[in-house]
Amino acid sequence: MQPSTPQQIHLADYRPPAYLVDHVHLTFRLAPKGTRVISRIRFRANPAGTGGDLVLDGEGLRLIGAAIDGVALGAGDYLITQAGLRVAAARLPGDAFTWEAEVAIDPEGNTALEGLYLSKGMFCTQCEAEGFRKITFYPDRPDVMAPFDVRIESDLPVLLSNGNPVGQGAGWAEWHDPWPKPAYLFALVAGDLVAHADSFTTMEGRAVALNIWVRPGDEGKCAYAMDALQRSMAWDETAYGRAYDLDIFNIVAVDDFNMGAMENKGLNIFNSKFVLASPETATDRDYEFIESIVAHEYFHNWTGNRVTCRDWFQLCLKEGLTVFRDQQFSADARSAPVQRISDVLQLRARQFREDAGPLAHNVRPEAYAEINNFYTATVYEKGAEVIGMLHRLVGAQAYRAALDLYFARHDGQACTIEDWLAVFSEVTGRDLSQFKLWYTQAGTPRLSAAWSMAEGQMHLTLRQEVPATPGQPHKSPMVIPVALGLLDQTGAEILPETLVVLDQAEVVIPFDLAALAAEAGRPLPEAVIPSLLRGFSAPVILDAPVSRADRLVLLAHDTDPFNRWEAGRSLMRETLLGMLLGGAADQAFFAAMGRLLADDSLDPAFRALVLALPSEDDIAQAAQESGIVPDPVMIHATRRDLQVAMGVALGSVLTQLYDALDPGPSYRPDAAQAAQRALRNAALHLLTLSEGPTRAQAHYDAANNMTDEIAAFTALLDIGDSDVAGRFHDRWQDDRLVMDKWFMAQISHAAPGDAVALARRLSAHPLFDWTNPNRFRAVIGGLTAGNPAGFHDPSGAGYGFVADWLIRLDARNPQTAARMSSAFETWRRYDADRQAMILAALDRIAAQPGLSRDLAEMVGRMRAA
């Protein structure tokens, strides 16, 4: 049985809206079960549209009454369907009119966390992508932009909406947002909240009040997010010339939230996990996320809000660009090479995985059933890589000029990828039609390199191949920027970084080695070691026949830090694949690692990244790329063997690092201190695996911050400590965010054979609130993402457990259920037995009566041949 895939929407069918909106006025009479929303909307026929009926989106709304130009509508004057409301053109008074409506909605019954809902007594909204239609009847599409006035009536003390406050009294507040915006950027919050307040003065001299709103008791955990916000505001002024444009900027932290955060104009709403931090409760990694997500949402004010998307197919226009901007910001705020390596790790772990399976899609998709399913690693992370390539191709100066033109030309507009590329073509005179394939062809290109030397000449051959992906059997050659350098056999650089652009299936590039060596003041080399794809200049899989010996030279000497790390990474990957096939790790590799780890001239954060092993899923992916069927259980055991071997072989240098890198009693979340902890805790982990619990137990007892505490906790879990989980629980049971870590860590670090049983047990724990997305992700994601060997247990128990929970969650929160279903996207990698069991689980989900469009689309795509 093939599950039927839901109705699709196509980019090719885009039509401009029939009516535009000149102004919106909304009144909210808040009540948990029966909130009234009274709307007054000025419509005007779109000169670029086709006219006709007034069609408004609306879902789950009870219409109390409606009027046009003050004349009440009778039941025969409109048609209500599941999707919205229609007024026939003949009933409209002319080209411009005012629509008024009153609807009743049920925030308390809204478990999908989309539209207006309640979270612990606080009203809040989530409208992207199509949640506004659950609040009132409206043309809920991003190319309809309007200024909003909002009045909120409620007894709750804090009443917030977009824009500037214009009045407030007992039981009411009014807000005015002068900047035209699409409905997906609308937001409202009402609750018993307290503010961590500060201010910022823009380069234009505007004094902006800044507030981070949290529940009473959490106000002491906002300082870092505030600092990140102020730094983001300053950075956007310097790096992009963009200043903030309202008198107030509010951030609200919410416990029940489907994603990370949302860039609503002037009123960002955040998952509390990406706002609240104290040294005792948040890890260095949490601080890093807070910094980059605060930046990301703030940067949307220009890339997303002032210039928005014409339709949801253009999502990467705002998301890819905004991720690129937050990555630039983090690179400036911390270490650029470390940031680049982390971004590539993330890209490979999430986007390459997606691209290699049935969910592969274009950076700009061409069809969807449920747009929420396309907030993906491909749209976000690959979307950012595409902009990074553009940046590299045109250079920083032209990039800035193109962006200046983009903002000047498109401020207040809803745009497309064509508009975006046009500013680059105009500024640089380049033809970007081939480059545009990055937006319209899915799949990770494979780049292969080969070289030969003769008579002082080297010829480098670069070849590309783009694999077939669902719906795209044949691909054209793409524009691949390849940054490269050449080293001689001693590791001396004879060609400094150079950009080669591969825009055909194959190119051969000659290098005059004699001339290059002379220029570098070196003798003519006997052999050359190419350092290819420096800085990961394109999101491709590189196959290059660099020998192990040459990779050890790159690891020790490359001038490009990314490729230094990459050399170590590929050695480790190859070692692991070799061990899977019965081989062993070689001493030269350990020796090289030892030298690098002991090199105190290197950033400890960089050394920690070199020391980190590929994740189990990375190894499975690497196996798949080289045609080996991965066995998750064996991968887990092999990876553990290598960790223990590293602990033994590198024992003395790891012990030295552990002793030397203690940052002392006063915790700071900055990059320098975090780097020390990262390397020290990586050493602790390997030493615990090779030597036993003593050091980790002492580390746990001495920890004065969550980074150290969780490092010792997980190391102890890894060696089967049976009582540390109880101690952690007793200390933290009243802290929701810390308890998410408790659930997640135990399942992720369980022995694979015990993981499903433990997940089952923890899903019956009194603190397992499956209706809270963070907690659901902690437990179910702890298994699917945190413990792949447990999830892929040969019995199939993991698949059944996850399918049961996805079915249960789908009835309540389709968006999060669908998102988590991608745990199954890798099914084709595995052996026939596992494939059959995963397909059975998917079929069981597909057969559920009343399955959401979200989950039905995901399962249908994963199931498709």
Give the C-alpha separation, 170 to 157, whole Å. 9
Rounded CA separation 622/570 (Å)? 10
What one-character-per-residue DSSP string does 625-650 give?
A: HTT----HHHHHHHHHHHHHHHHHHT
Nearer to Zn ion, 320 or 604 (CB): 320
Residue written as token pair 């234009």: 204
Of 846, 642, 787, give the one whose Cα is nearest residue 2: 846
For every residue of 127-164, DSSP letters joined together read -TTTTGGGTS-B--STT--EEEEEEEE-SSSEEEESSE
Q: Judging by DSSP bridges, how do beta strands 54-57 and 84-87 pair with one another?
A: antiparallel
One of 263, 297, 319, 566 is an active-site residue; which one? 297
Would you give the DSSP letter of residue 851? -
Is residue 237 annotated as a catalytic residue, yes or no?
no
Parallel, antiparallel, or unpaired: how do β-strands 308-309 and 414-415 relate? parallel
What type of residue is 570? Answer: S
Contacts by residues 633-636 (CB-CB < 8 Å, ≥ 24 positions apart):
633/752, 633/789, 633/792, 633/793, 633/794, 634/580, 635/576, 635/580, 635/788, 635/789, 636/752, 636/788, 636/789
Q: What is the C-alpha to C-alpha distance for residues 528 and 689, in angstroms, rounded to an integer?
A: 39
Cβ atoms of residues 540 and 480 within 8 Å: yes
Residues lying near Zn ion in the complex (CB under 5 A) are found at 319, 322
Candidates 529, 600, 596, 602; CA nearest to 569 is: 596
Structure tokens belonging to residue 387 = 């902009």
Instruction: Give least dist CB 380 to Zn ion, A.
Output: 7
User: Do 788 and 636 form a contact (C-beta atoms < 8 A)?
Assistant: yes
Copy the structure tokens of residue 153.
């009536």
Residues β-bridged to residue 209 = 199, 248
* Distance from C-alpha of 145 to C-alpha of 180, rounded to nearest angstrom: 5
Q: CA–CA distance from 4 to each of 11, 471, 826, 846 (Å)? A: 21, 17, 21, 8
What's the first-to-final CA gap in the chain, in angstroms? 12
Cα–Cα dist 93/354, whole Å? 50
Paired tokens of 280: 């005792």
Nearer to Zn ion by Cβ, of 328 and 469: the residue is 328
Residue 662: strand, helix, or coil: coil
Q: How many residues does the chain have?
A: 865
Rounded CA-CA distance 67/57 in Å is 16
Phi-psi region of 723 (alpha: psi -120 to 50; beta: other; left: phi over 0): alpha
Query: Residue-wise over 553-591: b if at least 16 C-beta within 10 A, else e?
Result: bbbebbebbbbbbbbbbbbbbbbbbebbeeeebeeebbe
Query: Rounded to an integer, what distance in angstroms lies between the CA atom of residue 388 and that of residue 382?
Result: 10
- Closer of 322 and 774 to Zn ion (Cβ): 322
HSE, CB side, 13 Å, CA atoms: give it for residue 334. 30
Task: Using alpha carbons, list the distances in angstroms from residue 276 to 178, 273, 282, 735.
Answer: 30, 6, 8, 11
CA gap 126, 134 in Å, rounded: 10
Degrees (nearest 5) of the Cα angle 101, 45, 418? Answer: 110
The Cα 606–Cα 334 span in angstroms is 12
Burial 609-642 (b: 16+ CB within 10 A, else e): bbbbbbbbbbbbbbbbbeeeebbbbebbebbbeb
Active site residues: 297
